[in-house]
Amino acid sequence: MKLEITERGENSFYDEFLYILSNYKKILINPKMKVSKLTLYALKLTIISLVFLILFTIFYILDSSFKFFIVVIGLFTFLVILGTIYYFLIRSNIKKLKNKEGTIVIKFNDDEIEYNSDNNFKLKWNDINNIIINKYSISFIPKSKDNILMSIDKKYLNDVLKAINKYKKEELLVDNSQLY
């Protein structure tokens, strides 16, 4: 079975893919884990750091004799800056992934899945820990980091399910699309 993808997915797909990629070990251990957008995660961390920065700045204004507040304010200023940089780096990576051109060809065979784009990758069915259906993506989670993690936009769900049924790999399927 062959699947040709000519158009790139939405930002949400790439955002979710980057979250899966960065949380691979957690997802490998707990495939029922709720997957989020990585930009949302970065934004939450930045806002939490900003709230603490404001709180400790207020504490310092109220009691400037306690010099430890200066250190804490410096730390949270640093964390806000890092969080903001992290957020924009994620957005930049999403833009790069989305703007790639070319057709992606995915071939489902008896023994493996071939992913052909700029590079060619193969993932054997035996090396797949789970196939997870998320809100925006379908991810093929390998058993080890030595293999490639593949994700396909969820709009191709019916085609992927046909391949899973054809090759009798239903036991690998985990549906997390209702976790949102």
Write down the pLDDT at residue 153.
Answer: 92
Decide the pairing of beta strands 104-108 and 128-133.
unpaired
pLDDT of residue 15 exceeding 90, the answer is yes
pLDDT digits (tens, 9 = 90+) for 121-147: 899 999 999 999 999 999 999 998 888
Q: What is the pLDDT of residues 28-73, one digit of tens each?
A: 999 999 999 999 999 999 999 999 999 999 989 988 888 888 999 9
Give me the pLDDT at residue 129, please: 93
Mean pLDDT, rounded, for 23-31:
92
pLDDT band at 180, cuts 50/70/90?
A: low
Q: What is the pLDDT of residue 30?
A: 93
In the chain, beta strands by DSSP E? 2-5, 104-108, 112-116, 120-124, 128-133, 137-142, 150-153, 173-175
Q: Spell out a b/e string for 160-180, using b for 16 or more CB atoms within 10 Å of the CB, else e.
A: beebbeebeeeebbbebbeee
Q: Which two tokens stand for residue 30?
A: 């707990």
HSE toward the beta carbon, residue 158, CA cutoff 13 A: 1
Q: Please report the pLDDT score of residue 43 as a whole number.
A: 96
For residue range 82-95, what is the model confidence (pLDDT) as tens digits?
999 999 999 999 99
pLDDT tens digit sequence for 151-165:
999 999 999 999 999
pLDDT tens profile 105-127: 999 999 999 998 878 889 999 99
Report the CATH number of the 2-8+102-179 domain: 2.30.29
Task: Pick the closest to residue 12 from 127, 155, 142 (CA basis).
Answer: 155
pLDDT-based confidence at 7, cuts 50/70/90?
Answer: confident
Query: What are the boundaries of each domain within the chain?
Result: 2-8+102-179
Residues 6+ apart with CB under 8 A from 167: 108, 110, 125
